[in-house]
């Protein structure tokens, strides 16, 4: 039976996006030279954090979003042989949106 990882407060569960192991010129990058990933795929989002007024500040991310987060942040965990990174919402820098190609205007 698989274990569901459920974040609390303003935490976000990510699956790290693996880096390319071979450069475009064909060089193989050893594990020791690789940097920690700075973007990941959102697996689960906590409900948010209470502000000073007691209102819940919801997190503006959803499952499946790709995000950039601060370098050297988060906690790496392994649950049921799956690697995850747990970060706080404040460590998210941006969401990566895949834009569709702009429609070409036809000549009249």
DSSP string for 16-75 = EPPPPSB-TTSPBPPGGGPPPP-EEEEEEE---EE-TTS-EE--S--TT-EEEE-TT-SE
Average pLDDT of the chain is 83
Instruction: Give residue 17's pLDDT.
Output: 83
> What is the chain's Cα-based Rg?
18
The torsion defined by the Cα of 6, 69, 84 and 62, in degrees rounded to 10, comes to 40
Q: pLDDT band at residue 26, thresholds of 50, 70 and 90?
A: confident
pTM above 0.85, yes or no: no
Instruction: Give residue 103's pLDDT.
Output: 54
> Would the pLDDT of 22 be above 70?
no
Which of helix, strand or coil describes residue 106? coil
Give mean pLDDT, residues 29-35. 60
Residue range 11-19+35-96 in CATH 2.60.120.380:
no
Of the candidates 73, 79, 19, 20, the residue with the CA atom closest to the CA atom of residue 44? 79
> Would the pLDDT of 106 be above 80?
no
């Amino acid at each position: 039976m698989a274990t569901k990882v459920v974040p609390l407060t303003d935490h976000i569960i990510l699956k790290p996006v693996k880096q390319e192991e071979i450069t475009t010129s064909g060089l193989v990058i050893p594990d020791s030279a690789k940097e920690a990933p700075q973007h990941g795929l959102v697996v689960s989002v906590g409900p948010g954090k209470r502000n000073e007024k007691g209102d819940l500040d919801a997190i503006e991310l959803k499952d499946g979003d790709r995000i950039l987060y601060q370098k050297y942040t988060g906690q790496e965990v392994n649950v049921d042989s799956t690697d995850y990174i747990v970060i706080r919402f404040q460590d998210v820098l941006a969401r990566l949106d895949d834009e569709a190609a702009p429609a070409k205007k036809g000549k009249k």
